[in-house]
Amino acid sequence: LMGTLSSRVMLGIFVVQDLCVMGIMLVLPYIGGDAFDLGALLFAIVRAGLFLGAMVLIGTRVIPWLMRRIARWESRELFLVTVTALGLGVGYAAYLAGLSFAFGAFLAGLVISESDYNVQALGEVIPLRDIFAMIFFVSVGMLLDPTFLLANLTTVLLVVAMVVVSKALLFGGLTRLFGYRNVVPVATALALFQFGEFSFVLARVGVTDGIFAPDTYSLILSAALVSILITPPAFGLIQPLYGLQQRFFRAGPMQTFDLPEQGLRDHVVIAGAGRVGQFVAGMLHRLRVPVIAIELNQQRVDECKRDGIPVLYGDASHAVVLKAAAVERAHLALITTPTIKTTQMVAQQIRALNADLHIVARAEAIEQLEALHELGVYEVVQPEFEAGLEIARQALLHLDLPAPEVQRYTDAVRKDLYAPIYQLHAEYDAVHALEHARRLLEFSWITLAADSPLVGRTLGESRIRSQTGATIVAIMRHDGLVINPDAGETLRADDVLAVLGNHAAIALFTALATPH
């Protein structure tokens, strides 16, 4: 269900449920016992409001400043310690203020989620989250009393049936009421009918504050565990039940109630925003190609923001960071990180998330080419080699060697270097032949002087192609652009001619058009 409309609707409902639970946990301690204390309840609400206001102030002013300072140290360990300390510290501050620890930790998560560091923070704390989730469910399992469950099995099953049916009808009906059709109401009903994980926490608070009897707590705990156990098999019933719905109920008119899907599509993901990454990202951004860069260095993130380049703070070797960059919907991935280990880890994660995505990566040394190809990298670039080859090409051109010969030589050197990886691509020979032909053709814009012998003559009269081998493919004038001019087109002074041909043909045309 991940990535579907049904999953996005469920996520929204989960968020609303969690927010409601936070409010219930706030007031629950004050509505139990023998007497209802309205004054204490109002004081708790005011205290929670003040704490929330303080967290908004701290979250918008202090925490972003602190996270930026920590990020500048470029220490993942310090970043993880800071995020953990914020979560535990805010939770403990809430506890000292008379609120629940969970309420404070929840607010800390909200504050961090609104910062530029939310994706990286999530990537760092996922292992901790999984560990605490495991401990939580282990503790819940230890609290379960099998003797009570067997002795009260009928009552437990009745409670499970009441909750499951009522929640399924409620969420399925609400989803349909809000205009969602097809499989969405069925999927939502079957995915959300179980007791929520916060029910354990609420039940425990209820017992502690004298609202529930211990037997009631055991009943809630047993029913919650049974409902959670039957949820995975219920997922398998979504398609059969939807098929029955389509068979016996006429489909209603389609409505365009939908949740907007955030993020990019058919874009370029650049892992690493160093000098190379920023240059490529800036060029693509200026050409209006959708692009997003991923960088863990805070200074480089600031530079990208200053240049208007979309950037995501995080480690590109984390799957959660790549998902935030929508790598599943990307058109191309560029890995510009300088170290081979990082490049390999990023390539592995990208290939796991999008098996068909073309990856262009940077290599430190020649011997790394084949290793990167085995990880699914389509094209590898070795910067030092490319720089040296371009310097050699410029030197040969300045020594007046023919441009086609220089190009042929550099192509041969490049092909020999990248042969180990290119031989593994079946389509490369055809692509290389086309690229080679394109490089042998030159395209030049040449302006006709007023006293040029070609001025006043038609293209047919000039016999340019037969004399030089060059072709005039366009003429630029002050009144517009003439594309593919015919033989009757008259050449004028100050015409800018688009000339296509090899180096020798363009040289001959230049001599022909130059005043004698």
Domains observed in the chain = 5-248 (1.20.1530.20), 256-381 (3.40.50.720), 385-428 (no CATH), 441-513 (3.30.70.1450)
Structure tokens at 450: 């007023």
Q: What is the mean pLDDT of residues 236-247?
A: 82
pLDDT surpassing 90 at residue 357: yes
Picking from 323, 300, 312, 233, the residue whose alpha carbon sits closest to that of residue 270 is 312
Q: What is the mean pLDDT of residues 301-327?
A: 90
Percent of the chain with pLDDT over 70: 89
CA distance between the termini of the chain:
76
Write out pLDDT tens, residues 408-420: 777 777 777 666 5
pLDDT tier at 493, thresholds 50, 70, 90? very high
User: For residue 1, what pLDDT is reported?
Assistant: 56
Helix (H, G, I), strand (E, B) or coil at 66: helix
Q: For residue 409, what are the contacts with CB-CB under 8 A and spacing of at least 6?
A: 396
pLDDT surpassing 50 at residue 248: yes
Q: What is the mean pLDDT of residues 380-402?
A: 82
- In the β-sheet with 311-313, what is the strand arrangement from edge to edge? 311-313, 291-295, 268-271, 332-335, 358-362, 379-381
Report the C-alpha gap between 158 and 226 in whole angstroms.
11
Count the neighbouring beta carbons within 10 Å of the beta carbon of residue 456: 11
Whole-model pTM: value is 0.58
Q: What is the mean pLDDT of residues 173-180?
A: 86
User: For residue 354, what pLDDT is reported?
Assistant: 94
Percentages (nearest 5) of helix, strand, coil residues in the chain? 65, 10, 30
Picking from 175, 60, 118, 459, the residue whose alpha carbon sits closest to that of residue 318 is 118
Report the C-alpha gap between 501 and 376 in whole angstroms.
38
pLDDT, averaged across the chain: 82
Report the C-alpha gap between 187 and 312 in whole angstroms.
33
pLDDT tier at 134, thresholds 50, 70, 90? confident
Strands 291-295, 268-271: pairing kind: parallel
The dihedral over CA atoms of 323, 328, 332, 336, expressed in degrees to the nearest 10, equals 30
CA angle 474, 476, 477 (to 5 degrees): 145
Structure tokens at 454: 């070609």
Percent of the chain with pLDDT over 90: 27
User: For residue 257, what pLDDT is reported?
Assistant: 38
Amino acid at residue number 290:
P
Q: What is the mean pLDDT of residues 185-189?
A: 89
pLDDT surpassing 70 at residue 241: yes
Report the C-alpha gap between 447 and 433 in whole angstroms.
32
Count the neighbouring beta carbons within 10 Å of the beta carbon of residue 315: 22
**Read out DSSP for 182-241?**
TTHHHHHHHHS-SPPTHHHHHHHHHHHTTSS-HHHHHHHHHHHHHHHHTHHHHHTTHHHH
CA distances from 55 to 15, 23, 42, 70, 331 (A): 19, 16, 20, 20, 40
Structure tokens at 28: 């629950």
Write out pLDDT tens, residues 44-58: 778 878 888 888 888
94 close to 51: Cβ distance less than 8 angstroms: yes
pLDDT surpassing 90 at residue 132: no
Q: What is the mean pLDDT of residues 226-253?
A: 79
pLDDT surpassing 60 at residue 2: no
